[in-house]
Amino acid sequence: MPYIPLEDHLPGITGLLEYSKETAAPIRELTQILLRGPSTLTEGERELIATVVSHRNQCTFCTTAHTAAANILLGEEETSARVKQDIITAPVSEKMKALLTIAAQVQQGGKNVTTASVQKAKEAGATDIEIHDTVLIAALFCLYNRYVDGLATVTPTDPAFYKGLGERLKNNGYNRLPQGYEHLKK
């Protein structure tokens, strides 16, 4: 049970974003720009960064939700599974391996990012903006994962829930739904 009263029909992050709409607005805006805004990284690649960081922060809700979003965007399920297992042998480009490695270092702590790993990303063709966005996406999910688990929000166990959420993240992105969330009440 969550540590504060959240709406029953809104598990995970959504209940928190509805509980505190003033703080939710900039968090949603930041996420929309980083994961859905113009970028030379695909939406699927950016969801993989979110997935890897959430997985390493042991946040089941965020990991499952962003895995679902990545799978829908990539059109397959192997890549998200493999990057969680081992970045280096996963079926992604050398550039993505280097960026995911940086994201994993950010998850540990900002100071863990090494000049060598940044150099490797640059040699694999990563631009400064891509490196910037990778670090900020990884840092943002260190926020989300702590927010979601730190207040003990509900983590659904039904895979159908995450499939629906993944679809919503693909079709609507991270902006608050214009009609709100009342329609999700059963």
Partner 1 sequence: MAHIQVEENIPGIRSLVLFRPETGKPLYDLAQVLLRGPSSLSEAERELIAAYVSYRNECIFCMSSHAAAARCLYGPDKNLVDEVLHDMQQSGVSDKLKALLHIAGKVQVLGREVTPEDIAAARVLGADDREIHDTVLIAAAFSMFNRYVDGLASFTPTDLAVYEAMGERMAKGYVLPASPEPK
State the residues that interact with partner 1 by CB under 8 A: 3-5, 16, 19-20, 22-23, 25-27, 29-30, 33-34, 37, 57-59, 102, 105-106, 109-111, 113, 115, 118, 128-129, 131-133, 135-136, 138-140, 142-152
Between 57 and 80, CB nearer to partner 1: 57
Question: Could you tell me the sign of the dihedral formed by the alpha carbons of 20, 47, 65, 72, in that order?
Answer: positive
Torsion sign, CA atoms 184, 12, 170, 76: negative
Closest C-alpha to 28, from 130, 183, 178: 178
Q: What is the distance between the alpha carbons of residues 30 and 139, in angstroms, rounded to a whole number?
A: 12
Q: How far is the CB of 76 from partner 1 (least distance, A)?
A: 29
Query: Which one-letter DSSP state was computed for residue 4?
Result: S
109: Cβ–Cβ under 8 A, 6 or more apart, which residues?
Answer: none
To the nearest whole angstrom, how small is the minimum distance from the Cβ of residue 50 to partner 1?
Answer: 13
Q: Which is nearer to partner 1, 93 or 127 (CB)?
A: 127
Rounded Cα distance between 141 and 91, Å, is 23
Nearer to partner 1, 144 or 162 (CB): 144
Q: How far is the CB of 122 from partner 1 (least distance, A)?
A: 9
CB of 38 to partner 1, least distance (A): 9
Question: Residue 74 or 138: which CB sits closer to partner 1?
Answer: 138
Query: Any idea which residue has 């993505």 for tokens?
Result: 96
Please, which residue, 72 or 95, has the CB nearer to partner 1? 95
